[in-house]
Every structure is written in C-alpha cells, then in structure tokens.
Structure 1
C-alpha cells in the first residue's frame, strides 16, 4: 500500500542533507535485496582462522580469541555510548551497565571452551609456534581500561613503588600494571612481546590516556553524586566480573595447560604468568570509590592459593 507520508519523509531526509531525493529513490529500483550472509559477512568471518599447524584444536584456540575480541567490542560499544551522553541519568546508566555485565559474564562463563576444549598435548605443541605472540598483546583490554578508570587505578603496588614523589600521567603510563609482565624477570630487559606491542600501540595508548584525563567513566559517575543501591551493586558487579573473575578463569585455564603436570611451562610471550594474571597481583579496580578500605586492601586475596 502506498504511503505518501513515508515518501515525503524520505524526500525531506535527503533534501536536508543537500542531496537529490530522486537519486536515492531511483537507486532502490536497482539495489539487490539484502540477505543474512552478506549483512553479517558470514563467509569473511568464517575464513578469518589461519592455523599455523595441522593440530585441529588450534582452530578452537583462534576462534575463541576472536570471540573474546568481539565481546570486548560489545562492551566498548556500551562504554562509548555512555561517554557520548552529556548528562548521565541513573536510568540510562543502569541499562548500559547491566548490558556490560551480561557481556562480561559471557567472557567469564565462556572460558571453559578454552579450559576443557583442547587436547593437552596438542595445545602444548601448537603453542610453541605462536611465540612471541601473547594474549598480553590484546590491546582491546587496554582501551577499555583507559575509558573506564583513571590511569592511577591501573598501577599496582610494585609500580607505585617506582613512581616519583609527584607523578604525572607519563609516570603512571610507564608503570602500568600489565607492563611488569613484559619484562624478563631474570635480565630485567623488555621482552620481544612487549617491544612489539609498544611499537604498535604505545603512542596511541598514551594519546588516549591524555584524552581521557578527567573524562573517565569512574569520574563521570563520581560527579553524579549519591547513587542508588541498585546502580552501586551493578557497578561493583562489573568490577568483580572484569577485574577478579575474568583473570581468575584465565589463570585457572593457564594452569590446566602450563602447570597441570607439574611442568611449570613458560607463557609464549615469556611473561611471569602466575603473577601477571592473578587479580591479587594486578590490583586493578575500576571504581575504588565504591569499595571500603578493607575490601581494597584484600582485593582478590581470598583466591590466592600459592
């Protein structure tokens, strides 16, 4: 059925853009109907896996890491929507944080795909072809951290001991918690894994850290004043899911393949993975203002078992 109002609305839309509406209306005559496989780029998506060995479980390893990147993109999508809001309301923020928590729970709950989904011996063979590549180089985590919390919250106790008396942003940047994992603990030199990462991303990350000064999500929330119990609960849940439970499932999976038989294998990137991955050593908190001094002091320590 013809809808003249709809046609007029379409014409007005393109006139407002300074375009000729008839060009776009005539284009509809020639455009092919959209289908599912083209819209989601199915064929391209399913051809993004390029194993380096013939071990079939390597494809599981690749696919799972690609899924992780997509989930992180979902989280970033919500975080950026929050940042675009000039005035944050509890109602808007609660919807977004609940979405973020569902995505983060997916990260946590999906790790059994890695932990129970690969043959132990095959994994410990194909992983040798991956050096010096490492999950340490997953920059999506770093982007999220800089958007969500102040850079001073991303420096652990070891890093704080190295800070000057009156640190500036660059000092914090040099001592970010994750950088400790990029040093050879025997020589004190940067690993190739870290050097590769810094060569590709250091300048971009420092620029982002400067851009986000005073604009991080934790500060935006602090400026909202007193929060409802429900919003506090959801924000604390996000902190727990992302900064405690996610690294815990990661370290437990690493133990399955690197430590299960008492072999204490090194990570492909050479990091001191037991300390790097454990949240009690990372000491990462997004919203420290929502936790008591005692809770901050004992952050994830109940999960220490070595």
Structure 2
C-alpha cells in the first residue's frame, strides 16, 4: 500500500470479521452466488439463470408488499398500503428492465442450451402464480403445475381461500360509504372477479368527484399505476419470447407466444379501467 492509498481503518472502519457478521454473512451471499448451476457450456446460460433467479427475488418482495398492503387495507390503514403499492410498482419497473438484459441473447445463442431446460418453464413459477391469485386472477387450472410440490400447493390453496387485494379494496370502499353490490361483497372469493356494473358505477362517483372521495380516488390510481406496470411486464415477456424463439412452443408445452398473448387480455381491476370510458 502506497502512502496515497486510502485506508478506511483510519476513520474507524472495521476490517476484521473473524468473529463478526460481515456483509456477505448478513446477505448469505455464499448461498445466493452459489445457486447458479448451468447445465451446458453455453456462455449465455448464466444470463438466463440469473435473470430468472433475480426475477424470483423481486417477486418475493412483491408478495411481501402486496400481502402487507392487503392486510393494511382490511384494517382501514390506507396510507401505509398506498406506500406499499407504490413500491410494488417500482418493483415491476425493475422486472421490466430485466427483459432488456435478456433480450441481448440472440435466438442462435439460446439454442445452445434450450434443450437442457427439459419441461421447465416460467409459467410453473409458484411465486408468479401466488401474485396472480393475490391480485384476483384465480385460474384454478393453474394449480396443476404445482401439484408435485405440497408446500407451494398449500400456499396457493390458502391464497384462493382469502379475499384478493381488490376484494379488500371494494370492501373498504363500502365501509367508507361507497356502496358496493351485496352480491360482489358476498361472492365466492375463490373465483375470479368479473366486471360488475354496480362496482363500475360506484367508481364513477369517485372519479366524478375526487375531492369528495380523495382517499378512494388516490387508492384507485395506485392500483391502476401498479396494473399499468404489470401489463408492461407481460407485454415485455411476450416480445422477448417472440424475439428469442419466434412462435415455437414453450419448453413447458404451452403455445409460447400465443399463450402469453392470451395473458395480455387479463384485467385485474376491470372497473378501474372501464370507468374512464363513461366519465
């Protein structure tokens, strides 16, 4: 070390971690950085693995935030919930940016290791399915890919038995004087909510007089903001897949691009999008 080298110990920085918790210890970096095991010698397989692993980490945080937001809304604690929803929007902004990195992989590069994936596919992600269920898209057929994993199946079944995030928002709105249809409030929460005229008209009252219903107005816009990012994430998924494999079938047996395009039609909070047309 030369005399011009900066020495952080001169300012009290700790450098001896023989008996102390280090940065790597706290973050368990040995486990995280040791979790990449390519099955081929293809250079780009590491990119593919890390992109999906980091996406799963972001989804874990999204589930943490969305679940907490739902609990807060059920307790009428709307301000903390809106902070959490804003954070989830930023999480999906990160997830959207990840596609830009994956798109640097060309079709010919992907073919060098695609066969090593077997039947594994992103649509088998238990965390992604949990997010979909939490948000209200409760497609029971999508339990099947997880039947081999008892713990994931248990989590998904428990989620199906609970009101979705949007269910809790509609219940909150009803408690705050924005009367919601009794059939919607009492519906079987295991099923996907569909567009309801009574709910649409209730949100119309909010959007026509936001100054009277400011809290619900702001919460509704937080939901729309999040779904906007979520839709972009789905769209980026479609375009990335089409760019890399064209219209081949997915490794998991789906139609690939055709399956993903069908997912673009899903509306999580339908009345919040349709209300714009009737204002």
TM-score (norm 2): 0.70
CA shift for structure 1 position 206: 5.4
Gaps of 5+ in 2: 1-17, 174-212
1: CA distance, partners of 2:52 / 2:44: 13
Q: CA offsets per residue over residues 157-211 of structure 1, 9 Å max, x none?
A: xxxxxxxxxxxxxxxx24xxxx5xxxxxxxxxxxxxx965333268425522443
Structure 1 counterpart of 2:149: 200
CA shift for structure 1 position 104: 1.0
TM-score (norm 1): 0.64
- Superposition pairs of residues 4-15 of structure 1, within 5 angstroms: none
| 1:211 aligned residue (152, 161, 168) | 161
- When residues 44 and 209 of structure 1 are mapped into structure 2, their CA distance, relative to the original with a 3 A threshold, is closer
Give RMSD over aligned pairs.
Answer: 2.5
- When residues 196 and 99 of structure 1 are mapped into structure 2, their CA distance, relative to the original with a 3 A threshold, is closer
Q: SS of 1:256's equivalent? A: helix
CA shift for structure 1 position 96: 0.8
2: CA distance, partners of 1:281 / 1:77: 23
**Contact 2:235-2:264 at 8 Å conserved across structures:** no
Alignment length, in residue pairs? 218
Structure 2 counterpart of 1:188: none
Structure 2 counterpart of 1:286: 268
Structure 2 counterpart of 1:251: 238
1: CA distance, partners of 2:144 / 2:69: 33
| 1:122 aligned residue (102, 106, 109) | 109
Matched, 1:67 2:54: yes
- Superposition pairs of residues 1-306 of structure 1, within 5 angstroms: 32-85=19-72, 86-116=74-104, 118-149=105-136, 153-154=137-138, 173-174=140-141, 179=142, 197-200=146-149, 203-204=153-154, 207-212=157-162, 215-225=163-173, 226=213, 227-242=215-230, 244-259=231-246, 264-278=247-261, 281-292=263-274
- When residues 129 and 98 of structure 1 are mapped into structure 2, their CA distance, relative to the original with a 3 A threshold, is same
Gaps of 5+ in 1: 1-30, 156-172, 180-193, 296-306
